[in-house]
């Protein structure tokens, strides 16, 4: 965040740059100093906000910081929300559509790293890498002997829930392992060679593992439910790098505790940062603190995307990764 005194001095010195509102939860410390050659940055808590904030035409939403109707009431001149997250379920899109506010997302900035992480979680669960690491560190190898064998990824039937930017790259990474790849998505994608299933239940019935990477909407909330887990079976694996609420977490815990699922690799949870205590001691579950898409490289790609969208908006050029809010 720019120093308010610095903003005052640059404005007094004849700085004609437009203002952009930084909208974020207090714990999101993502710096935007690299955008100060394009806009003057201001937050609602800044002393100068009452002067410059009400006329700002752009708001930059940091991470999954919620933007609801009451927030938009505080930003009366905002015409565009520049998102910094792959998902947009935290933004009231219906209200943005009503107010004719344009919205962008992080698009593909995080896609490659998210896809890498999904494959990493799947291999970790199958081969028990994290569990065997704990086994060795605990000094159990000399006393208890070899750790139980894991399973190979090669040749497995892997279902992808959401064949968007990340899902498509997950599929590409599975091809060298000779996996049979299926997917479910809002629409069938005729340009891909993978088997399409119209429902997640059908996909689960034909998969050894599911990788969940779709957007969270009212339609996809708990898309991985009791019936899907039952169809996946006792050796089935669930990997979730999307949003926690895509999976019915209570049902997932029941299935894992009852040995009705083979395992899970989870980067997201329904009530973050709280994680069900039952999962903590399970060697067939790999846990991660919502970091699948985050690397220095993905942050650099995000910074470049934000810069390009700021420049595009203020020069009346097409925005990158703009959402279609007309539907």
Catalytic residues: 243, 272, 290
Sheet bearing 195-196, strands edge to edge: 195-196, 180-184, 157-161, 209-212, 237-240, 263-266, 285-287
Query: Tokens 């689960």, residue?
Result: 204
Q: Are 73 and 99 in contact (CB under 8 A)?
A: no
Backbone torsions φ then ψ of 103, nearest 5 degrees: -135, 135
DSSP H or E run through 212: strand 209-212
Query: Tokens 């990997």, residue?
Result: 239
In the three-class reduction of DSSP (H, G, I as helix; E, B as strand; rest coil), residue 326 is classed as coil
Backbone torsions φ then ψ of 28, nearest 5 degrees: -95, 110
Report the alpha-carbon distance of residue 327 to residue 325 in Å, rounded: 6
DSSP H or E run through 173: helix 165-174
């Amino acid at each position: 965040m720019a120093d308010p005194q610095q903003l005052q001095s640059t404005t007094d010195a004849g700085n004609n740059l437009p203002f952009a509102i930084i909208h974020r939860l207090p714990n999101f410390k993502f710096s935007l100093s690299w955008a100060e050659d394009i806009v003057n940055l201001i937050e609602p808590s800044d002393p100068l906000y009452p002067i410059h904030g009400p006329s700002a035409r752009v708001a930059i939403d940091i991470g999954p910081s919620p933007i609801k109707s009451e927030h938009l009431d505080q930003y009366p001149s905002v015409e565009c929300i520049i998102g910094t997250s792959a998902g947009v379920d935290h933004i009231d899109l219906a209200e943005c559509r009503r107010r004719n506010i344009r919205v962008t997302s992080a698009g593909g900035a995080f896609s490659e790293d998210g896809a890498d992480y999904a494959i990493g979680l799947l291999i970790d669960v199958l081969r028990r890498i994290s569990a065997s690491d704990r086994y060795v560190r605990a000094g159990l190898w000399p006393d208890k002997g070899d750790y139980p064998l894991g399973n190979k990824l090669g040749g497995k039937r892997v279902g992808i829930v959401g064949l968007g930017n990340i899902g498509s790259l997950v599929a590409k990474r599975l091809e060298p392992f000779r996996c049979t790849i299926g997917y479910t998505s809002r629409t069938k994608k005729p340009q891909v060679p993978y088997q399409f299933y119209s429902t997640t239940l059908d996909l689960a019935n034909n998969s050894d593992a599911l990788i969940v990477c779709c957007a969270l909407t009212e339609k996809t909330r708990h898309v991985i439910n009791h019936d899907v887990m039952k169809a996946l079976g006792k050796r089935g694996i669930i990997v979730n790098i999307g949003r926690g609420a895509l999976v019915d977490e209570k049902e997932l815990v029941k299935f894992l505790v009852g040995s009705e699922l083979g395992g899970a690799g989870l980067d997201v949870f329904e009530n973050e940062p709280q994680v069900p205590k039952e999962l903590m001691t399970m060697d067939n579950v790999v846990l991660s603190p919502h970091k699948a898409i985050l690397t220095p490289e993905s942050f650099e790609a995000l910074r470049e995307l934000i810069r390009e969208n700021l420049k595009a908006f203020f020069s009346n050029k097409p925005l990158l990764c703009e959402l279609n809010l007309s539907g």
